[in-house]
Chains A and B, each alone.
Chain A
Amino acid sequence: GAGVSQSPSNKVTEKGKDVELRCDPISGHTALYWYRQSLGQGLEFLIYFQGNSAPDKSGLPSDRFSAERTGGSVSTLTIQRTQQEDSAVYLCASSPGRGYQETQYFGPGTRLLVL
């Protein structure tokens, strides 16, 4: 079956511009996560959606970052007024549910470069 997909694969933008990153989770997965991976680093949690519940935004680094999930499926991560330190790979993952034993499956990521 289809895995998690993300678009665009790569995004180059100028400092101060807004960007939108898209994630299509695996069909039927109720949990969706966004992570950020800076060069040579591990993954940093950003935001988590579970079904129709309010998202857990505790990992968002600033109020320039926001995300939404429409219809319990597709999610969009928006970064406003981008800064050079926002340059990173943004990874989306989904899992069937929120149980601790459930595997998260990752998309290929969006590589964001802010000039």
Chain B
Amino acid sequence: AQKITQTQPGMFVQEKEAVTLDCTYDTSDPSYGLFWYKQPSSGEMIFLIYQGSYDQQNATEGRYSLNFQKARKSANLVISASQLGDSAMYFCAMRVISGYSTLTFGKGTMLLVSP
């Protein structure tokens, strides 16, 4: 079975600063994908960034980057130059090659960006 752990229930950051949201995962599958989603107060789940288990380089998407450390089974999300609109719930999720193809989610981290 797969498991995603997000140990930070809440994080605070000042506008324009960088912030790292932690995510560790557990799976015995060699092939898997790691995803980060943002959920603002409106409730929609917005896809941010993807990292594949065989990717040699860390994924980047604009201000988002993923610090992928395979040996430590961690996939931390780094948001550079935080903006007020980044205040939201952030979920780390994983999908493996075997079994059914659903996503396993962590419990999320609430990020609050202050002016």
Contact = CB atoms under 8 A, between A and B. Distances in A.
Interface of A: 31, 33, 41-43, 45, 48, 50, 56, 58-59, 89, 91, 93, 95, 98-109, 111
B12 interface: no
Interface in B45-93: 45-47, 50, 52, 91, 93
Contact of A109 (B37, B44, B46): B44
B11 interface: no
A48 B108 contact: no
Contacts of B93: 43
A43 B105 contact: yes
Interface of B: 31-33, 35, 37, 42-47, 50, 52, 91, 93, 95-97, 100-108
Contacts of A108: 42-44
A105 B106 contact: no
Contacts of A98: 101
A33 B103 CA distance: 9
Given A42-B107, A43-B93, A103-B47, 19 more contacts: A33-B103, A41-B107, A56-B100, A58-B100, A93-B103, A99-B101, A100-B31, A100-B32, A100-B33, A100-B97, A100-B101, A101-B52, A103-B35, A103-B50, A104-B95, A104-B103, A106-B44, A108-B44, A109-B43
A45 B101 contact: no
Contacts of B44: 106-109
